[in-house]
Structure 1
Amino acid sequence: MVQVFGINHVALDVNDLEKAIAFYTDILGVQVMKRKGKNAMLDLNGRFDFLALFEDPSINPNVPKDGHWGVVVDNLEEVRERAAKWGVTFYPEFECDFRDPFGYRVQIIRKADISKQSMPDDSDNI
């Protein structure tokens, strides 16, 4: 039997590591847990989940990336306010979905709403 404990990390290639660190530490209130050269790891919860950032100057931030990643927070409204200060455009059909400055879609989920989440193909609940 295998028991899953969670997602260990999400890895994003970004064209500007300093900007990526500033963006994610500002809007999510997380800390840099490790940094080496053009790579950084941001602590997402103090256990084993982290955001890995890899600087690659060839990444075009103006090209939206496929897919998205989601993060659960206790204060969605505060994250939304912080993200708005960065000038992100929110997806109107969601409470706090936006593209980061590097073209990645980020979905912020309120902890209290986790039990209400629908499946992507459950059109009645989207």
Structure 2
Amino acid sequence: MAVNKKARMVGINHVALEVDDIDAALEFYGKIFDFTLRGRHDRMAFIDLGDQFINLSEKRSQVPDTLRHFGLVVDDREKVRSAVAALGAKILPGRGLDFLDPWGNHVQVVQYRDIQFSKTAEVLRAMGLAGLEKTEAALEELREKGMAPD
């Protein structure tokens, strides 16, 4: 039996976003999302995403992102769109919802039901999100990979 000599990627533990001011970033994202602060340390804050997190790191070191981005999964993308618009953040053109935060981080927002990304029932329950469902198209993508829930 052949042994795989390379490690396999399992998932993403966290994403780090550079911001100029942690308190301002927590206030900005707090006006868009309902979240729990996992913790703070020196010039960092950690926003809980169940079994993952976002690390806000103080002191921006690069210009605003235009192509490089991260995809954030939410339960209701239209609530995010409304909140981002109300804050006057720059919403980028396109079919979905992409925006730049005040520090130039490019955030792409996708809806949980529409994509194959999945959380376990236990994690969803712990996050207060039990009952989130998938579209048939997302379920079919999961079935094709042998990953559909029972």
Q: Say yes or no: TM over 0.5.
A: yes
2:88 corresponds to which residue?
A: 87
Instruction: Report the aligned-residue RMSD.
Output: 2.3
> Which residue number corresponds to residue 55 of structure 1?
58
Measured after TM superposition, the shift of residue 32 of structure 1 is 0.8
Alignment of 1:30-45 (within 5 A): 30-44=35-49
The answer for unaligned runs of 5 or more in structure 1 is 118-126
The equivalent of 1:113 in structure 2 is: 114
Contact 2:18 2:61 in 1 (8 A): no
CA distance, structure 1, for counterparts of residue 77 and residue 47 of structure 2:
19
| Alpha-carbon offset, residue 14 of structure 1 | 0.9
Residue identity over aligned pairs, in percent, reads 38
User: What TM-score do the two structures reach when normalised by structure 1?
Assistant: 0.77
Q: Please give the alpha-carbon distance, in whole angstroms, between the structure 2 residues aligned to 1:10 and 1:64.
A: 16
Q: Deviations over 1:74-122 (max 9, x none)?
A: 10010111111210121221321110110010000011221569xxxxx
- Name 2:22's counterpart in structure 1: 17
Name the larger-Rg structure: 2
2:98 alignment counterpart: 97
State the 1:4 CA deviation.
4.8
Query: What's the counterpart of residue 27 of structure 1?
Result: 32
TM-score, with structure 2 as normaliser: 0.66
Gaps of at least 5 residues in structure 2 are: 117-136, 139-150
Q: How many residues align?
A: 112
Following superposition, which runs of at least 4 residues in structure 1 exceed 4 angstroms of deviation?
1-5
Ranked by relative contact order (alpha carbons within 8 Å, sequence separation 6 or more), the top structure is 1
Could you tell me whether the CA contact under 8 Å between 1:38 and 1:54 is conserved in 2?
yes
SS of 1:21's equivalent in the other structure is helix
Deviation of 1:3 after TM superposition, in Å, equals: 6.2
